[in-house]
Amino acid sequence: MVGSRTLTAAAGLLVSLLVTAALWWYFDTLLVFLFLPFVPILFRGLGEDGPTVVQECPHCGFQATSEAYDYCPRDGSRLESAER
Identify the CA nearest to 64 among candidates 36, 43, 38, 84: 84
Whole-angstrom distance, CA of residue 39 vs CA of residue 62: 31
Supply the pLDDT for residue 13. Answer: 81
| CA–CA distances in Å: residue 57 to residues 66, 71, 80, 83 | 13, 8, 6, 12
Residues 8-60 pLDDT 10s: 888 888 887 888 788 788 888 777 666 666 666 666 666 666 667 789 999 99
